[in-house]
Amino acid sequence: MYKKKVPLKKSDLVVGALFLIAGIAIYYRVEIALNYSWQWGKLPQFLYRFDDESGKWVSNVLMWGLFNTIRLSIFGTILAIILGTIMGICRSSEVMFLRLVSGTYVETMRNLPPLVIIFIVYFFIGNHLLPYSSIGDALQGKDNFLVSIVTFCLAPPEHLTTFLSALFTLAIFEGAYITEIVRSGIQSINRGQWEAAHSLGMTKYQQMRHIILPQAFQRILPPLAGQFVSLIKDSSIVSVISIPELSFRANELMTGTLLTMEIWITVTIMYLVLTLPCSVAIQKLEDRMARGLR
């Protein structure tokens, strides 16, 4: 199909010229005025290094942090969706007590600084709940398939309690925003759907499970995917509680090597590698669903 060419406008040329000038200015500041001795040749060893004992290339500090960020993002999103769905249903409930509990949770999470929430939730869960579960102690010293799976998906047994504390912290924080997404999705369903399901003799649980939630999740899928991108970025918050994700590893490495600019530019690129494909996929998903709803 022939597409009509759109002529360039004067405003496009002006914007392009401004970007070019900004690029030249940044290059000048970095290469000339900054007076910084770049040492990019030292960076690759912190991504992958050659292990003489095994004779293979193995991941190093920055890649370890990247893997932990991915783990926190994936499993944190799963837990946040579960928590957000439950609280979203409570927010839409006719029972006042459930609305009060979910409303208090959402408003508390949304109106406190993230750093305060991280410290409160982390120290409460990490010091008063998880240690009594003895999850890590039960796995330590055992060399079996379960330990390998837990180590690959989460963390080694000796660090499992700390990792789970950070995971639950992120899930509780992000779950408040997912709660509002789920609530808006449920309330967007036409009242006639509820009445039709009720006329078929369905209980409230059956209505929600078979009729309302499937339609609601179809509508809220793009913002849920967008929340996944937000959690990737928000995972850097847990670096303040010494969780060895990407930002923590970068700060640790910068302190030991003094390669400030090289490390943080590399970390920026690594975050973009994670978030940009997700953002493009979300945009395509939104376009496809918008066409489907027409």
Tens of pLDDT, residues 238-289:
888 888 889 999 999 988 888 888 899 899 999 999 998 888 888 887 777 7
- Condensed to tens digits (0 to 9), the pLDDT of residues 16-41 reads 888 888 888 777 776 666 677 778 88
Can you list the domains of the chain with their CATH numbers?
Answer: 40-292 (1.10.3720.10)
| 133 pLDDT more than 70 | no
Phi-psi domain of 277 (left: phi exceeds 0; alpha: psi -120 through 50; beta: other): alpha
DSSP labels, 195-244: HHHHHTT--HHHIIIIIIHHHHHHHHHHHHHHHHHHHHHHGGGGGGGT--
- pTM over the 0.85 mark: no
Q: What percent of the chain has pLDDT over 90?
A: 23
More confident residue, 143 or 112: 112
Angle at 165 between CA 161 and CA 170, to 5 degrees: 150
**Structure tokens that stand for 76 in this block:** 């944190």
pLDDT number for residue 87: 93
Confidence of residue 124 (pLDDT cuts 50, 70, 90): confident
Where are any strands of DSSP class E within 52-112?
56-59
pLDDT number for residue 76: 92
- Condensed to tens digits (0 to 9), the pLDDT of residues 35-90 reads 777 788 888 889 988 888 878 888 889 999 999 999 999 999 999 999 999 999 99
Which residues, 6 or more positions from 214, have their beta carbon under 8 angstroms from its beta carbon?
A: none
- Condensed to tens digits (0 to 9), the pLDDT of residues 150-208 reads 888 888 877 787 888 888 888 988 999 999 999 998 888 888 888 888 888 888 888 88
Confidence of residue 1 (pLDDT cuts 50, 70, 90): very low
Cα 294 from Cα 291, distance rounded (Å): 5
Cα 219 from Cα 227, distance rounded (Å): 14
pLDDT number for residue 203: 83
Q: Which of 95-109, 138-152, 160-174 has the lowest mean pLDDT?
A: 138-152
Count the neighbouring beta carbons within 10 Å of the beta carbon of residue 116: 9
